[in-house]
Amino acid sequence: MNSTSIESTGTDELSHEQGRRKSRLGSLIFMEDFEVEEIPETILMKPCLVYYIPQTVKQSLTLQANKSGGWNATEWNLDYPDWRGTLRLNVTRNSAELRLEETGTNHVFGVCPIDDYPGNAIQACLDYSRYFVIKVVDDDLVTFLGLGFADRGDSYDLNSKLRHHFNSVKHGVEGAKSWKRKFIEFFDVFSR
């Protein structure tokens, strides 16, 4: 062998071309190990209404969850929202977040991180399809707020965007594992 050959597992020597293939495969796998800061992508912006959930409703949360499995928006005084603004849905590769921003200034009113959907961070109301309960997190303080839309189509858009994103996360992770396995098998055939 010439001086450019590479040893793979200590004893096997590879030709220069095989060594290049092996090193390319190694660098691809190695690059996956780096943590890359993800930039969130905004996939939805809609005008929204926010309601403070009355204390009596919060106290009966356990009882209500046991009986019906969800929230009822009729207990929030829907004619008088406590805040109006813009909902921004930002997504990254594996998660999402709802940001409630003041219209025009983009000052953040609240943030709801979402790791899975449907889940505990955002729950649809049982009685109206335009309303949700969101879990707003600010440092160690957790607050449940009512979230509503004037147009039913806006709530449908939010629901479908969240479902689509988390379905692609679920299938994307499984698909990436399958693709990586096929990729490694492909290069193993050529590196022998």
The 10s digit of each residue's pLDDT in 63-74 is 444 445 678 898
- Does 92 reside within a domain? yes
Does residue 173 have a pLDDT over 80?
A: no
Give the integer Cα–Cα distance in Å for 87 and 26. Answer: 43
The verdict on residue 114 lying in a domain is yes
The residues facing 4 across adjacent strands are none
User: Is the omega angle on the peptide bond into residue 113 within 30 degrees of 0, that is, cis?
Assistant: no
Assigned domain for 3 exists: no
Domain membership of residue 152 as a residue range: 41-169
Structural domains counted in the chain: 1
Full-prediction pTM beyond 0.75? Answer: no
- The answer to whether residue 140 is domain-embedded is yes
- The per-residue pLDDT for 42 is 94
CATH code: domain of residue 115: 2.30.29.30
Conformational region of residue 45, where left means phi above 0, alpha means psi within -120 to 50, and beta covers everything else: beta
Query: What integer pLDDT is reported at residue 3 of this predicted model?
Result: 45
Cα 176 → chain centroid: 17
Q: How far apart are the first and last CA of the chain?
A: 16
Q: Is-contact 89 95, C-beta < 8 A? A: no
Token pair 């290069």 is at which residue? 187
Q: Which residue has the tokens 């479908």?
A: 160
